[in-house]
Amino acid sequence: MQTEAQTDKSVHHELLKGVLASPAVRKRIADLGYKLSDIAHALGIERVAHGDLDRYLLEQQQGSAYDPKASARPGDTKNGSNETGQKAEAGIPLRGLRRQIAQKMQRSAHEIPHVSYVESLDVTDLEALRTQLNQKWAKKRGHLTLLPFLVRAISLAIKEHPRLNATFDSSTQLLTECSDVNMGIATQTNEGLMVPVLHQAQCLSAWEIAAAIRTLSESAKEGSLSRERATGSTITLSSLGSLGGIASTPIINHPEVAVIGVNKIVEQPVVREGQVVIRKMMNLSSSFDHRIIDGYDAAAFIQSVRRLIETPALMFIN
């Protein structure tokens, strides 16, 4: 791993070679141990952006069946033993989708200054409504989980807070507020985490959202997700269902500026009008790009989502 001084020296050296790139791109290349001039030459370009670096890394991955840098471990020796004389286990190189996920998560965590906000929501009334709707309409319209209501609540809250539904290009310092809510739905598959996209979520009913999520999830798990359905998200919803825990710190899906994390529902004693009652409670653990979203704006957005979830009738009169 390069020291800060070595990184600065490497970046300064590359400035002399005439290849154009933003300081963020230069530092990322130096941190990865590559040379800007080599990447520009390999791609046949004179200006390297983050997307170009991603393409170069992907080509390197596809062109090499085995990358010794990916599998080497500190302390490994040629005879398979480490410095203590113990037998060293073989490293497992990351390949394919898993490696792409790792690279994207590394970029998001490295480039985006995350600020997290956790809020507790009372979903008792929403769960009662969901049960009633499923009892009456499940056979004809399909079963409703909690996710369609969250998608609808987020889509409606974005009307009041449009900056949350945006993408940010750090190389050009350009923020793009999006008119359509293209909701990324984080989905776990056998090949790793994928984020299929529910386009124009703001135009869909709860049942249409539910049907679309089922289709997207099945396609992702089968490996048949089209490029259109795998790209173009403007904000992401991440849920682990019953494994959701009490709180989490989700990583933003670059180049978006917000991710909404859903934790599991638990019954808890709550004070309401001076009385202790048992209510169904759920936390939203969300992360925001602090370059774009201030803490106040993040909290205001989540409070808007909370009002809609705790008074579900509001989601059907907008």
Q: Is residue 228 part of a domain?
A: yes
Alpha-carbon gap, residue 317 to 252, rounded angstroms: 31
61 and 134 inside one domain:
no
* Domain match, 190 and 253 both: yes
Q: Please say which residue of 60, 93, 126 terminates a domain.
A: 93
Looking at the structure, do residues 14 and 47 belong to the same domain, yes or no? yes
118 and 51 fall within a common domain: no
Q: Residue 246 domain-assigned?
A: yes
Domain limit, last residue, from 32, 61, 93: 93
CA dihedral (307, 308, 314, 318) positive or negative: positive
Whether residues 68 and 134 share a domain: the answer is: no
Domain for residue 262, yes or no? yes
Q: Spell out the residues 6+ positions from residue 193 whose beta carbon is closer than 8 angstroms to its own.
A: 101, 186, 187
Instruction: Say if 121 falls within a structural domain.
Output: yes
- Domains identified in the chain, total number: 2
Reading the block at residue 313, the tokens are: 């009738």
pTM for this predicted structure: 0.72
E strand or H helix at 53? helix 50-63
Give the pLDDT of residue 45: 85
pLDDT computed for residue 65 by the predictor: 39
The span from the CA of 102 to the CA of 94, in Å, is: 8
64 by DSSP, 3-state: which?
A: coil
At residue 85, the pLDDT reads 56
Statement to judge: residues 118 and 66 lie in one domain: no
Say whether both 44 and 168 belong to one domain: no
CATH code for the domain in which residue 131 is found: 3.30.559.10
Same domain, 159 and 254: yes
Residues 120 and 246 in one domain: yes
One domain for residues 251 and 295: yes
Establish if 193 belongs to a structural domain: yes
User: What is residue 11's predicted lDDT score, i.e. its pLDDT?
Assistant: 45
pLDDT at 76: 44
pLDDT in tens, the chain (318 residues): 455 445 444 444 444 457 888 888 888 888 787 888 888 888 888 888 887 887 787 777 655 433 434 434 444 444 445 555 555 566 787 777 677 778 888 888 889 999 999 999 999 999 999 999 999 999 999 999 999 999 999 999 999 999 999 999 988 999 999 999 999 999 888 877 889 999 999 999 999 999 999 999 999 989 898 889 989 999 999 987 777 788 999 999 999 999 999 999 999 999 999 999 999 999 999 999 999 999 999 999 999 999 999 999 999 876
Nearest residue to 112 via CA among 301, 256, 261, 296: 256
In a domain, 214, yes or no: yes
Pair 196, 187: CB distance under 8 Å: yes
Our CA dihedral for 153, 159, 162, 165, rounded to 10 degrees, sits at 40
Residues 87 and 124 in one domain: no
* CA-to-CA separations, 29 to 4, 17, 74, 81, 231, in angstroms, rounded: 13, 15, 22, 32, 25
Q: What is the amino acid identity at position 72?
A: A
- Phi/psi of residue 253, each to 5°? -85, 95
Among 38, 64, 93, residue at a domain's last position: 93
Question: Is residue 313 packed enough to be buried (19+ CB in 10 Å), middle (13-18) or exposed (0-12)?
Answer: exposed
Residue 23 within a domain: yes
Q: 234 lies in which domain range?
A: 113-316
Asked, for residue 106, whether it belongs to a domain, the answer is: no
Inter-CA distances, 305 with 117, 122, 203, Å: 13, 12, 17
As a whole number of angstroms, the distance between CA 228 and CA 258 comes to 21
What are the residue numbers of the active site? Answer: 290, 294
87 and 117 inside one domain: no
